[in-house]
């Protein structure tokens, strides 16, 4: 965003602001080595960005290109995607959310259907993330006491 001052002779100063929109590729080229989310360990560059599905610092998984974000919510997982005809100044309306509260198998199938036409390259990664979140939300079953078979020591 930049501002330009507009004024003529005897006029009050007005500021005119414009939003400059860059392509996703250009934004990635600028931020790929200078992001606050980058973690470099053992020769591997990872990313802690909130929408990064596999934590890899690659354009495919970053949020500049058609974002896909999976968030853990109460009782399930939520898939957040950007709408096609979204305006840049209406951020809240720009995102579509889908909540999954079923078991992991049905939820991962639903995620793959949701992403089939939007981001087919991220279907498996998103399905795995949703399945892991839902498995972690499941109640832990109590272990049964071991049953001895045959002769027991007296």
Cut 0.85: pTM above it: no
CA–CA gap between residue 18 and residue 40 (Å, rounded) = 36
Q: What is the mean pLDDT of each run of 10 residues along the chain (154 residues)?
A: 55 61 84 89 89 87 80 89 80 86 89 90 91 88 84 65
Please return the burial class of 104, using the count of CB atoms within 10 Å of its CB with bins 0-12, 13-18 and 19+.
Answer: buried
pLDDT, position 6: 55
pLDDT, position 9: 60
What single-letter DSSP state applies at residue 10? T
pLDDT, position 55: 87
Residue written as tokens 């610092």? Answer: 57
CA–CA gap between residue 17 and residue 112 (Å, rounded) = 41
Question: Are the C-beta atoms of 59 and 49 separated by less than 8 Å?
Answer: no
pLDDT, position 131: 92
pLDDT, position 113: 92
């Amino acid at each position: 965003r930049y501002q330009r001052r507009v004024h003529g002779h005897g006029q009050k100063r007005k500021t005119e602001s414009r939003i400059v929109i860059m392509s996703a590729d250009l934004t990635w080229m600028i931020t790929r080595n200078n992001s606050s989310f980058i973690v470099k360990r053992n020769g591997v560059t990872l990313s802690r960005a909130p929408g990064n599905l596999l934590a890899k610092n690659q354009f495919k998984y970053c949020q500049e290109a058609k974002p896909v974000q999976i968030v853990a919510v109460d009782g399930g997982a939520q898939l957040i995607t950007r709408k096609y005809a979204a305006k840049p100044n209406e951020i809240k309306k720009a995102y579509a959310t889908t909540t999954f509260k079923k078991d992991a198998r049905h939820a991962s199938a639903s995620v793959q259907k949701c992403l089939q036409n939007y981001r087919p390259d991220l279907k498996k990664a998103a399905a795995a993330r949703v399945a892991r979140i839902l498995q972690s939300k499941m109640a832990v079953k109590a272990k049964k006491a071991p049953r001895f078979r045959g002769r027991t020591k007296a």
